[in-house]
Structure 1
Amino acid sequence: SGVSFPTYASDHSGFTPGSYNPSPAIVEPIPEIVYQPWQKSELKLDLPRLFASERADFQNDSVNGPQKIGIHRDIPFSMMGNIAPKLTWHRYKGGIVAYATISSPEAKSVRAQLDIILPANSELVFYGLDVQDERNALDSLSSTHKRLEEKRFWTPPAHGENIGIEIRLARSSEISKLQISLLKVGHRFRSTIGIDGPALELECDNHSDASCGVNNGVIDADTVDSTVKLTWEDADYSYLCSGVLMNVDDGPDVYRPYVLTAGHCISNESEANSLVVHWFYESTSCDSTTTSSEFTQTFGGADVLESRTEEDMTLLELERDAPEGAYFAGWTTSDVTFGTGVNGAHHPDGVLKKYFTGTSQGSQTVQVCYDEEQEDCFTLVEGIRVRLGEGAAEGGSSGSGLFEEVSGEEVLVGILSATNEGCTNQITFFGRFENFYPHITTWFDPIIDDTEPDDPDTPPEDDHGDTPESATVLALGEMTEGEIETSGDVDVFEITISRRGVLTVYTEGSTDTEGRIYNSDNTFEESDDDSGEGWNFQIEVNIEPGTYYIEVSGWDDSTGQYELYSSFVATDDHGDDQETATEISSSATSWNYDTPGKINIEDDVDVFEIETKHHSRITVYTEGSTDTVGSLKYENGELAEENDDSTVENKNFHISETFDSGIYYLFVEGRLEETEEDEEEDEDAGEYQLKVVITTE
Structure 2
Amino acid sequence: MLMKRFTLFLAVALFSVMSVAAQSVQPPSERLFTDPLDEQNVSTVQLTGMPSSNVELAQSQSVDGPLQYGTNRPVDIHPRRNGSWTQLANGDFLWRVQISSPEALTMSAALRGTLPDGAELYVYGADYSTKRKPIQPADLGEELYWTPYVDGSALYIEAVVPQMQRENLEIQISKVVHGFIPLEEALAGRYGKSGACNIDVACSIADPWNDQVDSVMSYTYSDGTGSFVCTGSLVNTTDLNSVPPYVLTAEHCVSTESQANSMVFYFNYQNPTCRTPGGTQSGTVTSDDRNDETMSGATLRMSYGNFESQGTISGKPDVTLVEINNSIPLSYEVFFSGWSVEGNAPAEAVTIHHPRGHGKRISFEYDATSITPYTDSTSGGSHLRIEDWDDGTTEGGSSGSPLYDLNKRVVGVLSGGFASCGNDAPDWYGRISEAWQGGGTPDSRLRDWLDPDGTGATTTDGRRKSLDPDDNIPPSAPTSLAATADPSVGEVTLSWIAPSDDGNGTEPVYTYDIRYATSPITTAGEFNTAARVPFTSNTQAPGTQETTTLSLIPERDYYFAIKAVDDNFNTSTASSTSSATPLPDEIPPARPEDLVTTVADRDAEQVRLTWTAPGDDQKMRTVTEYDVRLSVSPITSEADFEAAERIDGPANPVGPGQTEEVVVDVEPNTPYYFAVRAIDNKGNVSPIGTTEENRAVATSTLVLTEPSSSRVTESVSFRVATTEQQTVDVAIYDVLGRRVFVVFNEEIDADQGRAVMNLDLSQLSSGRYFIRALGQTGAATQPISIVR
Q: TM-score, normalised by structure 2?
A: 0.46
Distance in 1 (CA, whole Å) between partners of 2:51 and 2:287 is 33
Letter in 2 for 1:239: F
Matched, 1:139 2:134: yes
Matched, 1:313 2:314: no
Equivalent position of 1:163 in the other structure? 155
Letter in 2 for 1:416: L
Query: Contact 1:360 / 1:385 at 8 angstroms: preserved in 2?
Result: no
Q: How much does 1:307 deviate?
A: 0.6
Gaps of 5+ in 1: 10-29, 370-377, 450-697
Describe the shift of the 1:269–1:35 C-alpha distance in structure 2 as closer, same or farther (beyond 3 A): farther
Letter in 2 for 1:96: F
Distance in 1 (CA, whole Å) between partners of 2:112 and 2:379 is 38
SS at match of 2:71: strand
Distance in 2 (CA, whole Å) between partners of 1:69 and 1:201 is 12
Matched, 1:111 2:108: yes
Matched, 1:325 2:330: no
Equivalent position of 2:432 in the other structure? 433
SS at match of 1:222: helix
Equivalent position of 2:362 in the other structure? 355
Equivalent position of 2:287 in the other structure? 291
Task: Write the mapping of 1:27-426 to structure 2, written as runs, cut at 5 A.
Answer: 32=32, 36-37=36-37, 39-75=39-75, 80=76, 82-92=78-88, 93=90, 95-118=92-115, 120-121=116-117, 123-129=119-125, 131=127, 133=128, 136-142=131-137, 149-171=141-163, 175=167, 178-189=169-180, 194-199=185-190, 201-202=192-193, 205-212=196-203, 215-216=204-205, 220-251=209-240, 254-287=242-275, 289-292=285-288, 296-309=292-305, 310-323=316-329, 324-337=332-345, 340-358=347-365, 359-366=367-374, 381-388=381-388, 389-406=390-407, 410-420=408-418, 423-426=422-425
Distance in 2 (CA, whole Å) between partners of 1:182 and 1:276 is 17
- Superposed CA deviations along residues 269-291 of structure 1, whole A, max 9, x for unmatched, are 11111211111221112116533
Equivalent position of 1:551 in the other structure? none
Distance in 1 (CA, whole Å) between partners of 2:37 and 2:271 is 37
The aligned length equals 403
Distance in 2 (CA, whole Å) between partners of 1:305 and 1:164 is 33
Matched, 1:7 2:13: no
Describe the shift of the 1:301–1:36 C-alpha distance in structure 2 as closer, same or farther (beyond 3 A): same
Letter in 2 for 1:266: V
Q: How much does 1:396 deviate?
A: 0.8
Distance in 2 (CA, whole Å) between partners of 1:128 and 1:419 is 37
Describe the shift of the 1:81–1:100 C-alpha distance in structure 2 as closer, same or farther (beyond 3 A): closer
Distance in 1 (CA, whole Å) between partners of 2:271 and 2:166 is 47
Q: How much does 1:122 deviate?
A: 6.0
Letter in 2 for 1:436: A
Q: How much does 1:321 deviate?
A: 3.0
Distance in 2 (CA, whole Å) between partners of 1:293 and 1:396 is 18
Query: Contact 2:83 / 2:98 at 8 angstroms: preserved in 1?
Result: no
- Match of residue 453, structure 2, among 422, 447, 453: 447
Letter in 2 for 1:327: F
More strand by share: 1
Letter in 2 for 1:284: P
Distance in 1 (CA, whole Å) between partners of 2:45 and 2:396 is 33
The higher radius of gyration belongs to: 2
Q: Which has the higher contact order (CA 8 A, sep 6+)?
A: 1
Q: How much does 1:351 deviate?
A: 2.1
Measured on the aligned residues, the alpha-carbon RMSD in Å equals 3.4
Q: How much does 1:229 deviate?
A: 0.9
Query: Contact 1:282 / 1:353 at 8 angstroms: preserved in 2?
Result: yes
Describe the shift of the 1:380–1:73 C-alpha distance in structure 2 as closer, same or farther (beyond 3 A): farther
Q: How much does 1:34 deviate?
A: 7.4
SS at match of 1:233: strand
Distance in 1 (CA, whole Å) between partners of 2:133 and 2:380 is 39
Letter in 2 for 1:404: D
Query: Contact 1:7 / 1:397 at 8 angstroms: preserved in 2?
Result: no
Describe the shift of the 1:444–1:99 C-alpha distance in structure 2 as closer, same or farther (beyond 3 A): same
Distance in 1 (CA, whole Å) between partners of 2:4 and 2:72 is 23
Distance in 1 (CA, whole Å) between partners of 2:235 and 2:31 is 31
Q: How much does 1:225 deviate?
A: 2.2
Distance in 2 (CA, whole Å) between partners of 1:167 and 1:383 is 48
Letter in 1 for 2:403: L
Q: How much does 1:429 deviate?
A: 1.0
Describe the shift of the 1:66–1:34 C-alpha distance in structure 2 as closer, same or farther (beyond 3 A): farther
Q: How much does 1:379 deviate?
A: 8.8
Query: Contact 1:229 / 1:277 at 8 angstroms: preserved in 2?
Result: yes
SS at match of 2:107: strand
Query: Contact 2:59 / 2:180 at 8 angstroms: preserved in 1?
Result: no
Q: How much does 1:390 deviate?
A: 2.1
- Superposed CA deviations along residues 545-569 of structure 1, whole A, max 9, x for unmatched, are xxxxxxxxxxxxxxxxxxxxxxxxx
Q: How much does 1:87 deviate?
A: 4.3
Equivalent position of 2:518 in the other structure? none
Describe the shift of the 1:110–1:81 C-alpha distance in structure 2 as closer, same or farther (beyond 3 A): closer
Q: How much does 1:44 deviate?
A: 1.4
Distance in 2 (CA, whole Å) between partners of 1:192 and 1:3 is 22
Query: Contact 1:116 / 1:180 at 8 angstroms: preserved in 2?
Result: yes
Equivalent position of 1:640 in the other structure? none
Describe the shift of the 1:319–1:436 C-alpha distance in structure 2 as closer, same or farther (beyond 3 A): same
Distance in 2 (CA, whole Å) between partners of 1:365 and 1:413 is 15
Describe the shift of the 1:335–1:57 C-alpha distance in structure 2 as closer, same or farther (beyond 3 A): same
Equivalent position of 1:685 in the other structure? none
Q: How much does 1:320 deviate?
A: 2.9
Query: Contact 1:392 / 1:424 at 8 angstroms: preserved in 2?
Result: no
- Superposed CA deviations along residues 337-381 of structure 1, whole A, max 9, x for unmatched, are 47x011111112122222212233421123699xxxxxxxx9985
Query: Contact 1:124 / 1:141 at 8 angstroms: preserved in 2?
Result: yes
Distance in 2 (CA, whole Å) between partners of 1:90 and 1:256 is 42
Distance in 1 (CA, whole Å) between partners of 2:77 and 2:201 is 47
Equivalent position of 1:532 in the other structure? none
SS at match of 1:41: strand
Query: Contact 1:3 / 1:366 at 8 angstroms: preserved in 2?
Result: no
Gaps of 5+ in 2: 9-29, 276-280, 306-315, 438-444, 456-788
Letter in 2 for 1:183: S
SS at match of 2:436: helix
Describe the shift of the 1:363–1:31 C-alpha distance in structure 2 as closer, same or farther (beyond 3 A): farther
Q: TM-score, normalised by structure 1?
A: 0.52
- Superposed CA deviations along residues 11-47 of structure 1, whole A, max 9, x for unmatched, are xxxxxxxxxxxxxxxxxxx984778437543221122
Describe the shift of the 1:103–1:130 C-alpha distance in structure 2 as closer, same or farther (beyond 3 A): closer
SS at match of 1:4: coil
Letter in 2 for 1:140: I
- Superposed CA deviations along residues 636-674 of structure 1, whole A, max 9, x for unmatched, are xxxxxxxxxxxxxxxxxxxxxxxxxxxxxxxxxxxxxxx
